[in-house]
Homo-oligomer: A and B are copies of this chain.
Amino acid sequence: MLIYCILGFLRFKPMTGYEIKAFMEKSTRNFMFASFGSIYPALKRLKKMKWISSVQKVESGRLRIIYDITPDGKEGFNNWLSSRWSFDKGLEEMLLRIFFGSFLPAEVIQSKYDELSASLDGKRDTLLKLEKEIPEANINSFQHSTLLYGKDFYSFTKKWIIEHKPKMLK
C-alpha cells in the first residue's frame, strides 16, 4: 500500500523522500503514515522496478534526490486504483483510493463508489450471518456489542459513501 501512496503523491508532483513524509503528515496521516525507515527502502524498490526515476541535485549544499513517476509507474498505479474497490483491505485502503480519486475518469469514479457500497453490504451480511450462528445465551453483552458496532459501522460507512459519491456533471 505504501508504494501506491508514494506513486500517487508523485503524480501530483516530483518529490524527495523527505518531502513525501512531510506531505503524508499533512494529508493522509490519519489513514496512511510511514517512517523514513520504510519510505527510503520503498523508493529504492520502486526505482529498481523502474516505476519511478530520480535526479540528484545539490541545492544550497544539501543533497536532494528528486523522484518522479515513470510511464510504467503510472500504469501500475492506475491498475491498482482501478481494480475493484472493496473493503477487504480495510478503511485505510478505501480512504487512500478516495484520496487519489481525481486520477480516475469521471465516468469511472461513480462505479467505484458503487463497488465500495456493495462491498460494505457484503461485509454487513457476513456479520449478520455470524450473529445468527451464535446462540445468544453463549455471548455476553460486551461481546455482543462488538458485533453491533461492526454492523453500525458498515451502515454508517455505506451511507457516507452514497452521500459523498461525486455527482455527474451534465
Determine whether A83 belongs to the interface, using a CB cutoff of 8 Å to chain B.
no
B142 touches A101 (CB 8 A): yes
Specify the main secondary structure of chain A where it touches its partner: helix
Residue A18 interfacial (CB < 8 Å): no
A40 within 8 A of B: no
CA distance A117 to B166 in the complex (A): 32
Measured between beta carbons, the chain B residues less than 8 angstroms from A29 are 130
Does A102 lie within 8 Å of B140, measured CB to CB?
Answer: yes
The tally of residues in A whose CB lies under 8 Å from a CB in B reads 37
A147 CA / B95 CA spacing, docked (Å): 9
Selecting from A52-60, A66-74, A148-156, the interface stretch reads: A148-156
Instruction: Check if B30 sits within 8 Å of A142, measured CB to CB.
Output: no
Q: Which residues of B contact A140 (CB under 8 A)?
A: 102
Query: Is A145 close to B, CB under 8 A?
Result: yes
The residues of B that contact A139 with a CB separation of less than 8 Å are 27
Q: Which of B26, B91, B102 sits near A133, CB closer than 8 Å? A: B26
On whether the beta carbons of A150 and B26 are closer than 8 Å, the reply is no
A80 contacts chain B at the CB level, 8 A cutoff? no
Instruction: Determine whether A134 belongs to the interface, using a CB cutoff of 8 Å to chain B.
Output: yes
Residues of B within 8 A of A134 (CB): 26-27
Contact between B127 and A141, CB atoms less than 8 A apart: no
Asked whether A149 and B160 contact (CB < 8 A) given A26-B130, A26-B133, A30-B127, the answer is: yes
Partner of A143, one of B30, B99, B142: B99
Residues of A within 8 A of B (CB): 26-31, 91, 95, 98-102, 123, 126-127, 130, 133-134, 139-143, 145-150, 152-153, 156-157, 160, 164, 166
